[in-house]
Amino acid sequence: MKHKIQSRGLRSEMSPRALDKWNPAIQAAVENTSDTITIYGVIGEDWYGEGVTVKRIDAALRTIGDRTVTVYINSPGGDMFEGIAIYNRLREHSQKVTTKVLGMAASAASIIYLAGAERQVASSAFLMIHNCWTLLAGNRHYLRDVSDDMEEFDAAMADLYSETSGQPVKDMAELMDDETFIRGKRAVELGLATGLLAANEIVERETDDTAQTNALKAMDTALAKAGMPRSQRRELFATFKSGTPRATGGGTHNAAPTDKPTAVAPDLTASLSAATNLLNSLKGK
């Protein structure tokens, strides 16, 4: 099925609602890097063509080797196909996999979360499940064919949620239809999670990197709601990146925390202005 859908050029999109609600500053308080994997961001290609990919997860698992692994998740989702590939890779790992949702596991990230034999979620965190979401153009025959493919894909996802939780497939499909946010305690009640995560395992770290991510996600959400296709949005962000490099000191989620949680690095000031102008033109102003 994966090959069939991708052969039509279909790419799954992040839900603008999930992206808008995602807080990239929520991370694990302590990470034992010798046996943990962090999924803090977009699944598949993000704004700059990077993001969390199965290639990256493969590399991390090779480094960990034949040991148990803990996967920390705070992600708005992304490419569902990449999420399924990561799910399968984690399921194939030789030792126990524990998955932990710190802030959000939406869409493709919720699929990855299901790979854990033990699945913990913070009481303040959310899973978000929904039907495959995309933007595309074509004639009625093409759109009808893609709709049929997406229906099969959604059914497969409902089956997976059902098999993991023990809930009826119909109930899971209804939650997907409603694009449902499921709080931590409810996720445990439904069987999607096996337990709650201790509050002291979570911290909110404001860094230059998370500030830039917040700015990027705000731009992406606005452009997506305005109807701009993902490919065009990625080209726009690539232009920003090549034309205005990051400020010195930015880089990884381990960067020194800042006491200015709303700070935006200088390189995105021009980007935000350009995005605002573009949005105004899209609205006919």
Annotated catalytic residues are: 107
Burial of 281 (0-12, 13-18, 19+ CB in 10 A): exposed
Give the CA count within 13 Å in the CB-facing half-sphere of 48: 13
Q: Which helix (H) or strand (E) holds 216?
A: helix 208-225
DSSP secondary structure of 75-143: E--B-HHHHHHHHHHHHT-SS-EEEEEEEEEETHHHHHHTT-SEEEEETT-EEEE----------HHHH
The count of residues in the chain is: 285
